[in-house]
Amino acid sequence: MRLSSKQSTLLVLAALMIISPFFFPSNYYYRVGSLVFVNAIAVVGIVILTGYAGQISLGHAGFVGIGGYACALLPVHLGVPPALAVVLGAVLSGAVAYGVGRPILRLKGYYLAVASLGFGVLVAMVLANEGWLTGGPDGIKVPDPGLRALLESLGITLTNPQFWYAFCGLVLFVGAWLALNLHDSPTGRALRALHGSEVAARTAGVDVAKAKLNAFVISAVYASVAGSLLALQNRLITPDVAGFMHSIELVTMAVLGGAGSVLGGIFGAALLTLLPQVLTVLQDYEHVVLGLVMMLVMIFLPAGLIPSARRLLRGRGE
Amino acid sequence: MSLLQVEGLGISFGGVKAVNDVSFALDTGRIVSVIGPNGAGKTTLFNMISGVYLPKSGKVLLDGEDVTGLRPDLLAGRGMSRTFQNLQIFHEMSVLENVIVGFHMHERGPVLSDLLGLPGSRRRSRAAAEGARVLLERVGLERAAEREAGALSYGALKRLEIARALAAGPRVLLLDEPAAGCNAVETEEIDRLICEVARTGVAILLVEHDMKLVMRLSDTIVVLDHGEKIAEGDPAVVSRNPKVIEAYLGAGTTEALHAHG
């Protein structure tokens, strides 16, 4: 039986997640791996928004911040269990995205990029300045969700990095599965259609403003969950996760790997998370090399790494 | 009462009247063509009827209901569909997917169901795909179904657009220069397709420069010049109308009229 592209993507993803640890020389690599997964979760959301629907958000780190601080603040102030805080953070992010997106997405053009940019900056500033609540620029401690202890009581013993590697990997896998479902569903087709031609999508009966809003809200939830997982595994969250640079990083990861493809987005996230780890050798030149890599990819492989590679393979196959 | 009635439609851009006081009617299964020299306001008229522009004056009635300036997606829901002069294809999607999008109003459902890939969502997708394959066969593109739409020839894309427009199950179909840029064979195919569609009871409004096509297909021709309707009637009458010949003389395309005449 021939595998659908959804099945093969999920298979490749699962295989990489399971096989990689066999090559990890130390526990530290689990930690890097789970960071890759966390970024990839947010980037899969960007793939839906930018890759499918063609909309650009320059403030998605704001939702990462909301998700992260939800896990820090809700358990302490409202006595909510951390696991539930992840869900509440996602709901809040979705609601905020709806509130920000609804008036903006009725307009044509680049309003979303500008408005989301403002939104992201606002969130980062509030988190940094309202020290009485958020701990200010130094960040705030995040309580232990107790999931690892739960597993231990069931007889599964994992080191802390191993646990987060597995857990974030699982969430990423589910996130990728959802995004792939969406791709070939009526909703996903409507998004890709309006990306291609808004006027034609509209004529086909697509409520373009509503469709864009759907994509924006969904992608905000992905970013929020990523922020929550980051906060929970670091046991600390700082305002710079909501910063402008982080928003740009997320978009770059998606575009580098290939914004239209889920696997591409994940690959981009992996690459841009790992590259700085490798490039510490070149410390001072890290940003130079990073910028150079991006420029070369954009010039020679504008569709992004994974779609370009796929096209190349297909071309050879025929 | 006609299926589509256009009453005194007008619009200005920067003080210039692009279309002024144009009225006509279109019935089920009939083909009405709008012709006129370049810049006569044909596409502008189309854009007003299909909800892309909001007219400054006049009304569009669909089945007796006022639909003037209604959003295109809502118009689609009421049974009005269109194609575009400058192709509006979803290039990155497959040929089949392009037509499936045309079924959007039938296949759309809860977003959550689509995210989770629930059976209901897959059933809706499957039904739309089946319908799309039937339409692709009808326009002769069934063998290109899985190809990327951007890879098709110009004439094939024109037919793809018609298939997508038909997917919505329109009662009124607006075709904006369906044969423009097509060679003789492709024009022949589009000619046949339009006749077939009209026979199934769809009212067709056509803007087209190919006069042979227009004269052969149309039940009624509406002639625009400088945004005003200067003539209306069946092809034989319109092609002998001195005002029409004059308008075309100015634009230097009389040979087309004479060729038929």
Look up residue B87 and give its DSSP letter.
-
- pLDDT tens digits, one per residue of A186-212: 999 999 999 999 999 999 999 999 999
B93 three-class SS: coil
Where does the pLDDT of residue A265 fall: very low under 50, low under 70, confident under 90, or very high at 90 and above? very high
The first and second tokens of residue A33, run together, are 């791996």
Query: Of B140, B137, B152, which Cα lies nearest the Cα of B91?
Result: B152
Task: Answer yes or no: are the C-beta atoms of B257 and B211 closer than 8 Å.
Answer: yes
The beta-carbon neighbor of A204 closest among B115, B125, B168 is B168
**Confidence category of residue B176, pLDDT binned at 50, 70, 90:** very high
pLDDT at residue B249, as a whole number? 65
How much is the average pLDDT of B187-210? 93
Average pLDDT over residues B174-201: 92
Mean pLDDT throughout A67-73?
Answer: 97
| A249 or A108, greater pLDDT | A249
How close, in Å, is residue A153 to chain B by CA atoms? 31
Q: Distance between terminal CA atoms of chain A?
A: 20
What span, in angstroms and rounded, lies between the C-alpha atoms of A28 and A162? 9
**Partner residue facing A200 (CB), from B84, B111, B117:** B84
Q: Is the pLDDT of residue A291 over 50?
A: yes
Which CATH architecture does the domain made up of B1-79+172-186+201-261 adopt?
3-Layer(aba) Sandwich (3.40)
pLDDT tens-digit readout, A1-12: 567 889 999 999
A206 contact residues in B (CB cutoff 8 A):
73, 101, 104
> For A26-35, A76-85, A100-109, which range has the lowest pLDDT when averaged over its residues?
A100-109
Closest CA to B103 of B176, B190, B152, B163: B163
Count interface pairs A-B at CB distance under 8 A: 106
Average pLDDT over residues A292-316: 80
Chain B residue numbers touching A260 (CB-CB < 8 A): 92
As a whole-number percent, the residues of chain B with pLDDT over 70 amount to 95
Looking at residue B246, what is its pLDDT? 86
Mean confidence (pLDDT) of chain A: 91
Q: Do A189 and B82 touch (CB under 8 A)?
A: no
Of A181, A200, A207, nearest to B88 by CB-CB distance is A200
Scanning B61-90 for CB atoms below 8 A from A yields: 71-73, 76-77, 81-82, 84, 88-90
* Chain A: closest CA distance from residue B75 (Å): 8
Interface test with A, best of B49, B91, B108, B176 (most A CBs within 10 A): B108
Domain that holds residue A276: 5-317
In this prediction, residue A301 has a pLDDT band, given cuts at 50, 70 and 90, of confident
Nearest to B124 among A178, A186, A188 (CB): A186
Residue ranges of chain B that CATH labels 3.40.50.300? 1-79+172-186+201-261
Most confident range (mean pLDDT) of A8-12, A147-151, A293-297 is: A8-12
Sign of CA dihedral A191, A196, A202, A205: negative
pTM: 0.91
Tell me which amino acid residue B233 is: G
Note whether B168 contacts A187, CB cutoff 8 Å: no
Of B77, B97, B117, the CB nearest to A205: B77
The number of beta carbons lying within 10 Å of the beta carbon of residue B200 is: 8
Q: Does B111 touch chain A (CB under 8 A)?
A: yes
The pLDDT tens digits for B4-61 are: 999 999 999 988 899 999 999 999 999 999 999 888 899 999 999 999 899 999 999 9
Residue range B105-132: mean pLDDT, rounded:
96
In angstroms, the separation between the Cα of residue A300 and the nearest Cα of chain B is 19
Condensed to tens digits (0 to 9), the pLDDT of residues B85-101 reads 889 999 999 999 999 99
> Are B150 and B94 within 8 A, CB to CB?
no
* Range in A23-37, A229-243, A302-316 with the lowest mean pLDDT: A302-316
Kindly report the CA angle at B223 between B220 and B224, in degrees rounded to 5? 145
Nearest CA to A221 out of A16, A15, A70 is that of: A70
ipTM of this model?
Answer: 0.89
pLDDT at A3: 76
Three-state DSSP string of B15-84: CEEEEEEEEEEECCCCEEEEECCCCCCHHHHHHHHCCCCCCCEEEEEECCEECCCCCHHHHHHCCEEECC
CB within 8 A of B207, min separation 6: which ones? B33, B34, B35, B42, B43, B46, B85, B175, B176, B177
Q: Which residues of B touch A177 (CB under 8 A)?
A: 117
Rounded to an integer, what distance in angstroms lies between the CA atom of residue B198 and that of residue B26? 12
CA distances from B166 to A19, A57, B32, B131 (A): 49, 35, 17, 10
Q: Please report the pLDDT score of residue A316 as a whole number.
A: 56
CA A157 – CA A166 distance, rounded (Å) = 12
Query: What residues of chain A, 245 to 304, have a C-beta less than 8 Å from chain B?
Result: 260
Sign, Cα dihedral of A189, A192, A193, A199: positive
- CB atoms A178 and B116 under 8 Å: yes
pLDDT digits (tens, 9 = 90+) for A107-133: 877 889 999 999 999 999 999 999 999
Residue A314 confidence (pLDDT) above 90: no
Number of domains within chain A: 1
Q: What is the pLDDT of residue A318?
A: 39
A218/B91 touch (CB, cutoff 8 Å), yes or no: no
* Binary contact (A186, B128; C-beta < 8 A): yes
User: CB–CB of B165 and A203 under 8 A?
Assistant: yes
Q: How far apart are CA A25 and CA A23, in angstroms?
A: 6
In degrees to the nearest 10, what's the CA dihedral of B193, B228, B70, B66? -100
pLDDT of residue B261: 41
Q: Which residue of B has its CA nearest to A200?
A: B88
Residues 6+ apart with CB under 8 A from B228: B20, B21, B22
